Homo-oligomer: A and B are copies of this chain.
């Protein structure tokens, strides 16, 4: 690691600086949570990589630790990492920091072992906590916070990646067979609510409240022009998606983007990736289970989400439409990973009016992932975090049942390739409204 480069300049991410003791407690909680997520797994499970997009559990544990070495402990020089030759192994994509192991070969890194990685985590944790105890400047607190948000992103990836690994195993082992299942309630009829029109603001500004955090790609706060529109009041359900399947959705090219159609043909897509062939059960982190028709459909690609919306005569929301709707909610509550389900759940008896904008499933938008007007990436190596991926990916919003609670917010911009299916990604429908239409609740198709 070239610490000179990595520490080049203070990140200007809009992070309000928490007191060191609060930050230390947060640090301990987040780091412990990652280990807890790996706890149900055997060492063998933690090595394998089922596709280039996914990483082994052990790699996630190590990479998040590398992040603290590269960007926190290594900021000021003088830090002697216990395993300097591991940096090459666990740098993900920070070209500024140094060369890195080829991504598709991560499953061949059987060394260091899981125990060695755990010991390294323990040592690095101690060093960071010492640093915090000794007093740190604002920039360092911002870097630590960034490292924790980064770690939370990898917590979700750890779950989605292990789910994929187990899904390609002929015996389909469960990550945790004892995972609770949510009681099923019937989905409400699909209703639409008109959104804001005209010029409004989205994104994160410079003046953040205490405790707040945002990634650089959420900035700056800027004005957008909203077309008249309405959003569905809940995500699309499995039952609704099944209608699409039964109506030949996967056999009708005119519903699809050309690239999606080619891919679906080439790979033989006929249903969401983790559905069983009977269209009545699905593979989950708890093993194979009956499909809940009332739960949000999950693990669909942008191509499937977009085709479904076209089949319904509707469309996906823009990210601005989604964000201005979310901004009107009192809080970002929902079915997050901390709820312990690790699976989207259908509506509950007592949740009248719940939109499920947050949690359950990431919602594909119709917005490609590009820079906001006036966007500036973080300086130095941290500038590689988000900005260089602003090509060929699409925005998802709202977090999922695998996202740590408290990690997402209304301005949060997740992004994946339109072909990606292994994330907990689902669908919220939108439609055009007549200009000037009032914001009344309106019934769906």
A residues adjacent to B (C-beta < 8 A)? 42-48, 50, 58, 85, 88-89, 93, 95-96, 101, 105, 107-111, 113-114, 165, 168-171, 173, 199, 222-225, 227, 253-254, 256-261, 302-303, 306, 366-368, 370-371, 373-374, 383-384, 388-392, 418, 432
Contacts and interface: CB of A to CB of B under 8 A. Distances in A.
Copies in the complex: 4
B170 A88 contact: yes
A360 B113 CA distance: 32
B171 A85 contact: yes
Query: Looking at A170, A368, A384, which has the most chain B CB atoms within 10 Å of its CB?
Result: A170
B254 A225 contact: no
Contacts of A261: 95, 388
Query: Looking at A96, A107, A261, which has the most chain B CB atoms within 10 Å of its CB?
Result: A107
Contact of A258 (B93, B96, B254): B93
B391 A110 contact: no
Nearest to A310: B387
A37 to B, nearest CB: 16
A170 B106 CA distance: 11
A89 B258 contact: no
A373 B306 CA distance: 15
A421 B54 CA distance: 30
Given A108-B169, A199-B199, A366-B370, 8 more contacts: A44-B110, A47-B47, A89-B171, A105-B168, A109-B169, A111-B171, A223-B227, A258-B388
Given A46-B44, A368-B368, A418-B391, A173 B260 contact: no
Given A47-B47, A224-B225, A390 B110 contact: no
Nearest 5 A-B pairs (CB), nearest first? A368-B368, A95-B253, A225-B225, A227-B373, A257-B391
Given A170-B88, A256-B388, A418-B392, A42 B374 contact: no
Contacts of A114: 44
Nearest to A198: B199
Contacts of A95: 253-254, 261
A108 B109 CA distance: 14
26 contacts: A42-B43, A42-B110, A44-B47, A44-B114, A45-B110, A45-B111, A47-B48, A85-B170, A89-B170, A101-B170, A108-B165, A108-B168, A110-B165, A111-B169, A222-B227, A223-B225, A223-B227, A225-B225, A257-B388, A257-B390, A258-B389, A258-B391, A259-B391, A260-B391, A366-B370, A374-B432
